[in-house]
Structure 1
Amino acid sequence: MKKVIQEHYGMRVHEFFSISKYQAFRNERNLYLVVPLNMNDQELTELYYLSQYLYDHGDQRVTVFALTRNGQFGFRYEEENFALLKASLFDSRERETDPIGKELALFHQAGRQFPYHLQHISRIGQWKSLWEIRLEQLESFWKSKLHAKPIKSFDQLFVETFPYYIGLCENAIQYLVDTELDEQPQQVDSGTVCYQRFTDKTWSNEIPYKISTEWLFDHASRDLAEYTRQCFFKNRINECVEFLSSYEGVQKLSPFSWRLYYSRLLFPVHYFECVESYYLSSEEKRIHYENKLEHIVTKPTQYETFLSSMMKQIPLRNHQVQIPKLEWLNDGNP
């Protein structure tokens, strides 16, 4: 790897060290992260300009792409593609941090100012079609497993539980459709920089940088919903309420935003990702996803209660939001 980096970038690497899941090295001025790439040049071009814009406008935690000597976004090593992401050096222990909700709101505000059209990394207005495709694909796979022999314990669990999650998906899609029919988007609903999955680990002292290869251009409610979802699975509901409060201390959400946020909470992406990851993983990694699925499917009633409690939270935060009630939700009452 050291030899390949010197060949492509003209930089001498003295020593690698780990930052979270990434290999890294440094010189006198910058830190460099070696990150795997699984996107095309059109997506990389958009991420390149988006990250450079945010860095140039004052966010020193943003990573930008270091280009190769030939102006390429990355390099190939042992049959895989990688990029070098450049970051400013600073001591994370000395960094003053805002509450994560406030910091995310400021990040979203900056992303909305990006002056150019983004097409290839954008998911704005695409949730319905993407969810439908994902549901159809997994449903087709589920049907193939119904009569498969021999059947493993994970297969059995998947076969038995998937019909329930089909129902959740259909509810989420209908809720999204109703939102887009009933509510008018406002300025706050413009697209912005978001993460594939925003959690409490995304910005931490373990990795205090904003990794640009993890970004999409989407509605801000994506990050809010995914952070809220992980709060449930980590039993940190109070933390979720504080997170939303600190976010709205900077940026008030519109009725459209709140309903989009709720439709995303309804969509069981946690279930989908677990099942998909299991079948795409090597045999030694599958035990992790088997344990994870068992954890997920033992909590449907608790998740319904959680969804019901979040439904009651939203009107308390914004009296203009008339959020449609889902009668089938378990509200935790006997």
Structure 2
Amino acid sequence: MSTPVIAITMGDGAGIGPEVVVGALATQTVYERCHPLVIGDARRLRAAARLMNVEVEVVGVDSVGDARFTPGRIDVIDLGLLPEDLPWGELSATAGDAAYQYIRTASELALAGEVQAICTAPLNKEALHAAGHLYPGHTEMLAALTGTEEVSMMLSTPKVKVIHVTTHIGLIAAIAKIEPGLVERTVRRGHEAIRASGVDAPVIGVCAINPHAGENGLFGEGEEEEKIVPALERLRADGIDARGPLPADTAFFLAGRGDYDLIVAMYHDQGHGPVKVLGIEAGVNITVGLPVIRTSVDHGTAFDIAGTGTAEVGSMIEALRQAAELAPAAAG
């Protein structure tokens, strides 16, 4: 199968997105796995290259067909939406709108079959909202732009992978939203994604909602029996090795030592906290359920260091690696 084309969205131009994109694409091994095409602002990328002290040629192209995909050259579909004097590290509605437009363009290319995956640099939710794009984050935006009714967020590190039943909503709302159908669909999406990455029979640990998985009714109001157990029974009946409900603290410890291929977290912080302790420096965010593979760095815009040339690029390199690894199966 031919090398996948990966659309890399530049993220919020006032944050570290331009720097991590340039730094990653200055790494020759990236081009051995994929054909990277940036959707962003060529002038900002050139500024980032100077900050990062990397020798690359940033070339604006009009289409995927115009890109050369050669090391030392960064091909970019240049939307030219950022002013030359945009400050680094400051909230900007202009940068927020540009970040949305990069995602919109990448989604259109993906739906047209011109790119096989999307890899996103971080955006700033406050800037996005200031520009009038009222999405909780990348995951929900990509779902809307691709007409996808339901997706899941998966975080992947070298030690553990976790998929979330709920994400960007409050804790009380999350518990209310959790129900057997949603749990079942989330586990199935995760099972398919892990199989696509080369694990034939994934072992999946499903977290409980309450401490100690409810301790046989001592904690909570029976949420595990009502909201999780029926889903696990249906999944196991279909041959999916989904175990639980598990106390979350124990589940992540066991996953960290290799007992589980995937952990299912019930809400945002239940999954994000352990993942960021175990490997944020190489963490990757994967949106599961879209009609196109989407990966992302697992860090934010880091306004505090934006424009200093010190951004760590390892997560972007890993996000591109995983996008390239998953994309051929999606395109096949």
TM-score for both structures, normalised by structure 1? 0.25
- Larger-gyration structure (1/2): 1
Name the structure, 1 or 2, with higher relative contact order (CA <8 Å, separation 6+). Answer: 2
Q: Which has the higher strand share?
A: 2
Q: Which protein is richer in helix relative to its size?
A: 1
